[in-house]
Amino acid sequence: MTSPFSFKPLELPAALQPLRQRVRDFLAEAGRDWSGWKVGHSWTGFDRDFSRAVGAEGWIGMTWPKQYGGGERSHLERYVVVEEMLAVGAPLGAHWFGDRQSGPLLLRLGTEQQRQRFLPEIVKGEASFCIGLSEPNAGSDLAAIKSRANKVDGGWRLTGTKIWTTNGHLSDFMIGLFRTGGDGKVKHEGLSQFLIDMRSSGIDVRPIRDLTGEAHFNEIFFDDVFVPADMLVGVEGDGWNQATSELAFERSQPDRFMSCFPVLPPLIDEIRQGGDGDRLAARRLGATVADLVILREMSLSVLGQLAEGHAPAREAALVKDLGNSHEQQIPNLVRELSDCPATLARGNRLSELQGFLTQNVPSYSLRGGTREILKGIIAKGLGLR
């Protein structure tokens, strides 16, 4: 057949409906006082009390083994919980990186001791993780990182700088990628991943104010930071493969296309108040909903393929590329279909969401791999270059 892509459909079973309803009820209560501005932050918003409450419901580490505090639930159940949270822009940041990335990494490659120590804490919403990848001179060219980990008695000494680390100033732990060997000629070799306690001496976290006026990401300086030997994750020197192999999962989840969803309900209400909407409003909204439904189908398909043991990396890259474009055009849709005043009206849900999202959407096609890097991955996968 002609298509290079596989998107076998995955249907969410009706049996998940009670879970979905439970999450909705929980969020209706928990989110009663969330402002539009707060909701705009969606999964990067950091709210540890909320994460603890989510953990108490058993909705962090849902698929993990019970021996580590997990729920041994299915990936489909987790998907339902995640998409319900994203639909209302819940602040997932205090547990999201551990739940999505660090926990699964430790399950796959961590030592028994690491799993026992960290996974139950993530599950409870007590241990927040950040991801230390980019450096001042290694952005899209991630393998150009220079930060080093030198072997010393009983562990490692870390030196260098990480940057753009989301919620680094609020997190308890980092999974960081450092250079441990190699001759530097093959950039992807000689990299290793470490579990780093953010309270270690020698770590200096400096929040970077971004254009929204807030500080979400950070520059993090490592000055001879000691990391015990048992905090190496996986295999020394295999950090590149370890860090990139789970991107298929990361790139295909609904956080890559639902970041702006919470602005749509107040937009619809605004249009309805103005008299049910004209033809243009219907057409533009309909196109946006169709786009979202198909993205969700694609995302579910990748989920199903992952659950069957496949690694649909190209399909996942497509979901993120299409998903980011979908998210990013929504603030313009709001402007097109409603006469937003040119002021940011605090207390007005639509205005706060629109004000935050308009300023925040440029980051969507940067975080988790830029659009250009993704398109390169797609092109390479098609047999170009």
Partner 1 sequence: MSNEQTIGDLLAEQVDRLLGREVTRERLIAVEDGSFDQGLWQALEELGITLALVPEDAGGVGLGWEDAEPALRAAGSWAAPVPLAETLVAGWALGLAGIDNPGGPLAVSDLIFQLDHQGRLSGEDGLVPWIGHCSHLVALAERGGERFIALIPRDDLQLTAVETLARIPSARVVVSGFAPAALAPAPFAGELGLKPALAAARAVQMAGILDRLLALCVDYGNTREQFGKPIGKFQAIQHLIADLAAQAAAAQVAGLYACRQLDRGNGEHGAAVAKARAGQAASRGAESAHQVFGAIGFTDEHILHYYSRRLWQWRDEAGSEHWWAERLGRQVLAAPGAQLWPAIAG
Amino acid at 333: L
To partner 1, the closest distance from the beta carbon of 37 in angstroms equals: 18
Both tokens assigned to 315: 């399909």
* CB 314 to partner 1: min, Å: 8
Query: Which residues lie near partner 1 (CB under 8 A)?
Result: 1-5, 7, 9, 12, 17, 20, 83-84, 87, 261, 264-269, 271-272, 276-277, 279, 281-287, 289-298, 301, 315, 318, 321-322, 372, 374-376, 378-379, 382-385
Are 240 and 189 contacting, i.e. CB atoms less than 8 angstroms apart? yes
- Least Å distance between CB 242 and partner 1? 26
Instruction: Quickly count: other Cβ atoms within 10 Å of residue 84's Cβ.
Output: 20
Q: Which is nearer to partner 1, 229 or 289 (CB)?
A: 289
Q: Which of 83, 135, 250, 352 is flagged as catalytic?
A: 250
Is there a catalytic annotation at residue 250? yes
N- to C-terminal Cα separation, the chain: 23
Closest approach, Cβ 321 to partner 1, in A, equals 6
Residue 289 tokens, joined? 């909903």
Which CB sits closer to partner 1, 132 or 323? 323
- In whole angstroms, the minimum distance from the beta carbon of 277 to partner 1 comes to 4
Smaller CB distance to partner 1: residue 85 or 94? Answer: 85
Beta bridge partners of 240: none
- Residue 14 or 211: the one with the smaller Cβ distance to partner 1 is 14
Residue 116 pairs in a beta bridge with none
CB burial readout 145-168, b (16+ within 10 A) else e: bebbbeeeeebbbbbbbbbbbbbb
Q: Are 75 and 307 in contact (CB under 8 A)?
A: yes
- DSSP calls for 323-348: HHHHHHHHHHHHHHHS---SS--TT-
Tokens for 77? 């159940």
Q: Please identify, using beta-carbon distances, which residue of 250 and 321 lies nearer to partner 1.
A: 321
Q: CB 134 → partner 1: shortest distance, Å?
A: 21
Give the DSSP letter string of 27-89: HHHHTTT--HHHHHHGGG---HHHHHHHHHTT-SSTTS-GGGT-----HHHHHHHHHHHHHTT
Give the type of residue at 362.
P
Are the C-beta atoms of residues 298 and 317 closer than 8 Å to each other?
no
- Which residue lies nearer to partner 1 by CB, 142 or 191? 142
Sequence-distant (6+) residues with CB within 8 A of 175 are 101, 102, 105, 129, 130, 131, 132, 193, 194, 195, 196, 233
The neighbouring-strand residues paired with 138 are 135
Q: Shortest distance, CB of residue 269 to partner 1, whole angstroms?
A: 4
For partner 1, the closer of residues 4 and 136 by Cβ is 4
Active centre residues (catalytic) = 250
